[in-house]
Amino acid sequence: MPLEIVTIPCLSDNYAFLAHDAVSGNTALIDAPESGPILSELERLGWGLSHVLLTHHHFDHVDGLPAILEQHPATVIGAAADAHRLPPLDQQVNDGDSFEIGGEPVLVLDVSGHTLGHIAFHMPQSAVVFTADSLMAMGCGRLFEGTAPQMWESLCKLSALPDDTLVCSGHEYTQSNAKFALTVDPGNSALQKRVAEIDSTRAAQQPTVPSTLALEKATNPFLRAADPAIQAHLGMAGAEPAKIFAEIRARKDRF
């Protein structure tokens, strides 16, 4: 059976996620922006925590952890490269490592760019990847520590996953990301349709996260740097995709 995925809104625009295996009862929390909503959801569902998976060190992904662990002792897993600034880890992992939750393998992907040592967790049997602030719905994270080529490599790694993969990213930035996307990919009919759907979803105060990788590949300009229409629109026809990505990221930073 695939893991049951629960999306938990936190803070003003963050998301945490629960991944629950009904057979074993194992439940993993992915990121801990704040404790209150997460503890409330665990109580509502009647679940305990077996694991906490941390994607990166930023406060809005880890600050809720101490209060959560007080009520739900769990194995805390995060990147070895980020261990010096993460909360104390029970297990340090690197790119290419794997471990199990409820008998399902969890694959670790280094997706540095937003930060150095940022990781994603891919659960192939459940067709889900937890990307936090690397690949985001209609966007990607700002390059606070890494370089544009680094982030492009990370996005290529994620875009190589199966199209039906559910992308669980860390923030509700989708509507503003969509407005920007129209400025670099205005002729994309799939994008135009998605923008209308996003506006409707947000008007109903519903989350736009998770999305699917197929949808991101069709509409997210940060994954589409090799698209000739985008290259032409930017006046960079034939340029290397990594350079196109860097231009798109720079434009988004100024948007």
Q: Could you report the per-residue pLDDT of 158-183, keeping only the tens digit for each?
A: 999 999 999 999 999 999 999 999 99
Question: Does 95 show up as a binding residue in the annotation?
Answer: no
Report the percentage of the chain scoring pLDDT > 70.
100
Q: Strand 98-101 vs strand 91-93: parallel, antiparallel, or unpaired?
A: unpaired
Distance of CA 250 to the CA centre of its chain: 20
For the chain, give the longest Cα–Cα distance.
55
Domain ranges of the chain: 4-169, 174-254
pLDDT at 1 over 90: no
Question: Does 60 show up as a binding residue in the annotation?
Answer: yes
4-169 carries CATH number 3.40.190.10: no
pLDDT digits (tens, 9 = 90+) for 26-78: 999 999 999 999 999 999 999 999 999 999 999 999 999 999 999 999 999 99
Give the count of beta carbons closer than 10 Å to the beta carbon of residue 159: 17
pLDDT of residue 178: 97
pLDDT at 9 over 90: yes
Question: Does 233 show up as a binding residue in the annotation?
Answer: no
pLDDT digits (tens, 9 = 90+) for 185-243: 999 999 999 999 999 999 999 999 999 999 999 999 999 999 999 999 999 999 999 99
Question: Does 114 show up as a binding residue in the annotation?
Answer: yes
123 bridge partner residues: 128
Question: Does 51 show up as a binding residue in the annotation?
Answer: no
Q: Which residues contact 127 (CB under 8 A, 6 or more apart)?
A: 2, 162, 164, 165, 166
Question: Does 227 show up as a binding residue in the annotation?
Answer: no
Question: Does 61 show up as a binding residue in the annotation?
Answer: yes
